[in-house]
Structure 1
Amino acid sequence: MEINRRTVIRGAAAVAAFGMAEGAAGTAFAGTSSSAGSSGTTSAYSLEFDPTAWSYDATNDVYYQLGKMYVTDPAATDYENLSVYVPGAYLTATANSDGTTYTAKVNPKGTVGAHSGRTAPIVIPVNTPGYAAQKPATSYSYSSVSKYLEAGHIYVWPGLRGRDSSTGTRSDAAPWGVTDLKAAVRFLRYNRSVLPGSTDDIVLFGMSGGGAQDTLAGASGDSPLYEPYLRTIGAAMQDSTGRTLSDAVAGVMAWCPITSLHEANLSYEWNMGQFASTGTRAPGTWTGAYSTDLAKAWPKYLNRLGLRDEQGRLLTLTESDSGTYLAGSYYDHLIEVITTSLNDFLADTTFPYTVTTQGGPPGSGQTGTSTTYETVDDYIAYLNTDSTWVTYDSTTNTATVSGLKGFVTSQKNASKPVGAFDGYSRGQTENSVFATGLDAPAHFAPLTRDVIKANEAAYATYSGWNSDYGSAAYDSDFAKKDSVGKDMAWRADAYNPLYFLSPAFAGYRRSRVARHWRIRTGIAQGDTASTTEINLLLALRNYGIRDVDFATVWAQGHTMAERTGDSTTNFISWVESITKK
């Protein structure tokens, strides 16, 4: 079945099912392969994990190996290697004659907590803010992995390329970060016979761009879009019997995932930009007009997704008397999510409560301020400073949110300029994510291009407009091919989780989707629209994923947001819960 490479919205009836949904709980993945490079010739690097090269931390009873190349034809040897950290109980080892290394084999009966050398989950961090590179470990540190190992997890730390790690020969960025992550997962299955732990229970965790990339990896397991990239770097593709290896994972922990970049310019203006009137959104500027046009375009996109809530209600936006499409079942659902977040906060919080505002940028000399609210009523009054958008019932300790404008004005101001992700001058971080060469940021969002195309004659009547901002610049970037010969549409699809989760896209059910998800966001973040994580949640549930643990946390911004407790402890507890299932 051929995949349509254009990033377009398609009706569900036009999309043929691939017949491969999310991995079932008992799915087994093949695990050994040859070490031939992508060209078919033997590479200088082997995919074989060396069981005779373990180092040992006797104080903490940990075996580890650093710097193992996980592909045979790496584009960046300083990134495409990984480290493995294993609780000592999971291996039986003997000292080598060199006096420093050990030869070890798996001890399936060795236990740490509820896990054994055969069943231990494998956790993989994806620490790639702004889709940056993740540097591999170059030295051993127990403190950085201790909590995971003490819980009985196996910790695998891969280096991953990103927008800031281009090489002279392969200088494009996306989709290399997720490609490398998938190659690392395949490497573990390739070596499952000599490594402890369950490769059926691989769990990814990350925040911001890291949360985005582990979301993409979790949604796109075994997608054909990634195959040419994996082959180019010599990833493990088959086992010794010719069976295809999998890069699907069991679980994804995503904090504040900055994802769905294909539509993020539009959703940002609908959710936040339409309520701002300063900076690039000032009246009388072409960017102010651009903001309005982006906001008007997003509901049309949203309505074609066909998202439904848990009761099966179709969620859509409709025109409203004030604002841009601030009505309809989707709007009501968004207000429900905001209200739930506020009521969770009221249930979790003991008053007095102190609010600390963020200071200015580094070097500005501006410091944050702190205000303490003695009672809930005081706090509600603070929320209603500019307008009354929250009502409070003290008998039930619950609040009701009346509208989006009051919430955004009070709690979620737009912190990015118009064109927040695909910048009109290619100046945003995400333009570098889709670079087409060294220091060559590129446009990547067709929905944004369509808005520019439809309105550029009007924009040209304003001062500040530059013809370089026109649709021709987008079309030029879209036509360029990357180092594997793929155009921007292919790359953008690979970095769009909804491409794999929504029947509105050609990639629907052409991947193996992770079966366990935990999503946490700070509702006050100005980094992306609330609709980003809400649509991800809805798409997962609509797809049929039963285990999606979601919360958007009140009074928190772009951080590893948690209602209570700390992120590491909560993540570990969640991994424990899903592995028991």
Structure 2
Amino acid sequence: MKHRAVKRRNVVIGLGATAGAAAVGGIALTAQASTGTAGSKSKKASDSLVFDRDAYTELTTTVTAVDGSEKEVTYHFWKAITYVANPVDVEHQSLVVSVPVTIDGKAVDATDAPILFTNSVGGYMPANVSAATGVGQAAMEMGNTGAPGASASASPSTSASPSPSASAPGGTGPGGGGGAGGGVPNLAEIALAAGYVVVEPGARGRSLVDADGVYYGTAPAVIVDLKAAIRYLRANKGRIPGNTDRIVSAGGSAGGALSALLGASGDSPLYDKYLKEAGAADASDAVFASAEWCPITDLEHADGAYEYCWGTSATRSGSQVDQTVSKDLKSQFATYQASLKLKGINGFGPLTAANYDEYLVETYLQPAAAMYLKSLSDSARSAYLAKNTFITWDGDKATFTWDGFVDHVGTRKKSTPAFDAFDLSAGENNLFGTGTTKARHFTLYSLRHEGSSSARLADDIPELLNLMNPMYFIKKRNPGRSKHWWIRVGTNDTDSSPVIVGNLAASLYGIGDDVDSLMYWDAGHGANNDPAAFLDWIADVSGHKK
């Protein structure tokens, strides 16, 4: 991306971002001559849910492609379009569309191109496209807001990078615009430069509060909004550019969880009442393929999975978490894992708490380490192995134990419980808030730890947990689910547990879906180390010939 800084509504667009304050990725808007618009589409609630194919602005930008080359892309850009008939918050319930016209001067016909639907949700916070003036500018918001329509305090980044989790927002990653900081690619830009149509949706999130103190973006608002946006696209088949039967959802962290949920829950009637209330289009909300990086999901079981992997690891302050609590949660994980009755991929066999560490090492961690070591120069590899003596390297395969791996990762990021905090301080507690109640417990363990041993979860919590968990729909073999899955996580990511990714992949593999899952060695939360392979994967599974 050529370095030209452009100011738009107090949001700086340019290169040189760092993690936690990423820029858009250096978008250089070199032309804004409209070839068919008198301005952006009106966002009044009375607007029809019909895509106005002529309401675009033509822009030209320079994108650094996945091969390192610079590509000049001219594209049509539709500013924020409200995707529901009865919006609660127009500013968040809108989407933007980018369609390539020429790439390096060569005409592009995107009529039948796959549509990358890339969300910018981080930490289950709101996502906002209202200020976007070009591709890759979806904003992940980071603070509480006032009344509907008033923007939250946005992250300094207008990249679509995910937060490390709802509990600890910030950072860069692959969801939505993808985050330019730390070398992480901006998916929206590189997909556009590859000839794909790009749709970036806004959505309500957990921090939104109206003038009466009511939280109106808590569960299931964010997934309802993303489904409504998909329905808008599907309802406009033939009007909106791109193949609406080949929508590929993408996101990272909480956005990755939501991408997985979109993929797993397609056309489920469980959301119908919420979608009807929002005034969503009468169309399918199924997506063709689903891509997720470091998904923060399966929240009601995430505390146990976290302790299974990181229970004995010290926190970053050097202290150890309460081992009684950690062991309690680890025991819960063992029971849950047994109930899933999953088998590992590649013929591993039944997955249990007794062998899951072995499964992760054999199936994901050793191959990730081997791939990393092979990518190094001879001198760099020798230096790395000298520093990391827990690895045995035979020139082709890396071998080590689970305990060696855990020691290598070192510290854990979160306390315990990691997701349903005893003091209701975790972002996930806020996600399950309701009305004027900011945060609630969503597991019996945390609820009863802080109160009566006979306390019961609020009546609506079980349904909300199902609505927010892709594992629920996978277990049901939801017929409207995606059949193609791209799943990635870094091995140094202690925002969640690698078990979460392992179970997601194994459950999908077990019901016959096409699953491409791997881990990035020594990579942290939000890493996307193989964007070129991802773009090729889209072309392959969609049958699109570039």
Q: TM-score range by the shorter chain?
A: 0.7 to 0.9
Give CA-to-partner distance per residue, 1:97-123, whole Å, 9 cap, x none. Answer: xxxxxxxxxxxxxx956xx44311111
Verify: 1:444 aligned to 2:442, yes or no. Answer: yes
Aligned to 2:290: 252
CA contact under 8 A between 1:273 and 1:281: conserved in structure 2?
no
Query: Which letter maps to 1:191?
Result: N
Aligned-residue offset at 1:143:
7.1
Correspondence 1:125 to 2:114: no
Shift of 1:381: 4.1
Is residue 344 of structure 2 the alignment partner of residue 309 of structure 1? yes
The separation in 2 between residues aligned to 1:339 and 1:545, in whole angstroms, is 24
Using a 3 Å threshold, how does the CA distance of structure 1 residues 142 and 267 change in structure 2: closer, same or farther? closer
Q: Could you tell me which residue of structure 1 aligns to residue 16 of structure 2?
A: none
Residues 472 and 435 (structure 1), Cα distance of their counterparts in 2 relative to 1, 3 Å cut: farther
Aligned partner of 2:133: which letter?
Y
The Cα of 1:405 is off from its aligned counterpart by 2.1
1:227 equivalent in structure 2: 272
| Corresponding residue number in structure 2 for 1:158 | 201
**Residue in 2 that maps onto 1:96:** none
One-letter identity of the residue aligned with 1:380: L
Structure 1 counterpart of 2:409, from 408, 411, 434: 411
CA deviations over 1:20-66 (Å, ceiling 9, x no partner): xxxxxxxxxxxxxxxxxxxxxx9623212223433333785422221
**Aligned runs of 1:296-445 on 2, under 5 Å?**
296-310=331-345, 312-317=347-352, 327-328=354-355, 330-336=356-362, 337-353=364-380, 375-376=381-382, 378-384=383-389, 389-393=390-394, 396-402=395-401, 404-438=402-436, 440-445=438-443
The 2-side partners of 1:412 and 1:259 are apart by 23
CA contact (8 A) 2:254 2:296 kept: yes
Q: CA 1:542–1:130 in 2, change beyond 3 Å: closer, same or farther?
A: same
* More contact order relative to length (CA 8 Å, sep ≥ 6): 1
- Name the CA distance, whole Å, in 1 between partners of 2:81 and 2:98: 12
Q: CA deviation at 1:469?
A: 5.0
Deviations 1:438-495 (A, max 9, x none): 461111134x45xx75xx5xxxxxxxxxxx355566x2x523xxxxxxx111111111
Whole-angstrom distance in 2 between the partners of 1:558 and 1:416: 13
CA distance in 1, matches of 2:391, 2:47: 61
- Of 262, 268, 286, the match for 2:300: 262
Amino acid at match of 2:360: L
Task: Give the deviation of 1:71 after TM superposition.
Answer: 0.4
- Choose which of 468, 478, 481 in structure 1 pairs with 2:458: 478
1:176 aligns with 221
Residue-by-residue CA offset, 1:147-184 (whole Å, 9 max, x unaligned): 33332211112111111234456625111111111101
Instruction: Provide the C-alpha distance between the structure 1 equivalents of 2:316 and 2:489, rounded to a whole number of angstroms.
Output: 26
- TM-score with structure 2 length normalisation? 0.73
Helix, strand or coil: the match of 1:56?
Answer: strand
Secondary structure, counterpart of 1:557 in structure 2: coil
TM-score, scaled to structure 1 = 0.69
The one-letter amino acid paired with 1:576 is A
1:138 paired residue number: 131
Instruction: Give the match's secondary structure for 2:412.
Output: coil
- Report the equivalent of 1:63: 76
Q: Percent identity?
A: 31
Backbone CA RMSD of aligned residues: 2.8
Does 262-271 or 137-146 show the bigger shift? Answer: 137-146
8 Å contact from structure 1 (residues 345, 554) kept in 2: yes
> For residue 5 of structure 1, what is the aligned residue in structure 2?
none
Q: Quick one: distance in 1 between partners of 2:453 and 2:97? A: 47
Question: Does residue 524 of structure 2 align to residue 544 of structure 1?
Answer: no
Moved over 6 A (4+): 277-281
Q: Residue 166 and residue 246 in structure 1: after superposition, are their counterparts in 2 closer, same or farther (change >3 A)?
A: farther
Structure 2: 5+ residue stretches without partners: 1-43, 62-72, 138-187
Shift of 1:578: 2.2
* Counterpart Cα distance in 2 of 1:349 and 1:549: 24
Could you say which structure has the larger radius of gyration?
A: 1
- Counterpart position of 1:462: none
Instruction: Give, in whole Å, the separation in 1 of the partners of 2:252 and 2:417.
Output: 22
Q: Which moved more, 1:305-314 or 1:173-182?
A: 305-314
Residues 277 and 230 (structure 1 numbering): CA distance in 2 closer, same or farther, change over 3 Å?
closer
Structure-2 change in CA distance of 1:57 and 1:303 (3 Å):
same
- Give the alignment of 1:91-106 within 5 angstroms: none
Q: Name the amino acid aligned to 2:397.
A: T
Kept after mapping to 2: 8 A contact 1:172/1:436: no
Shift of 1:315: 2.0
The aligned runs of 1:553-568 (5 Å cut-off) are: 553-562=520-529, 567=531
C-alpha change, 1:570 and 1:127, in structure 2 (3 Å) is: farther
> Residues 316 and 413 of structure 2 are in contact (CA less than 8 Å); yes or no, is this contact kept in structure 1?
no
The answer for unaligned runs of 5 or more in structure 1 is 1-41, 91-110, 238-244, 318-324, 354-374, 457-467, 480-486, 503-507
The number of aligned residues is: 435
Measured against aligned partners, the alpha-carbon deviations of 1:494-515 in whole angstroms (never above 9, x if no partner) come to: 111110112xxxxx02352112
Q: 2:325 matched to which residue of 1?
A: 290
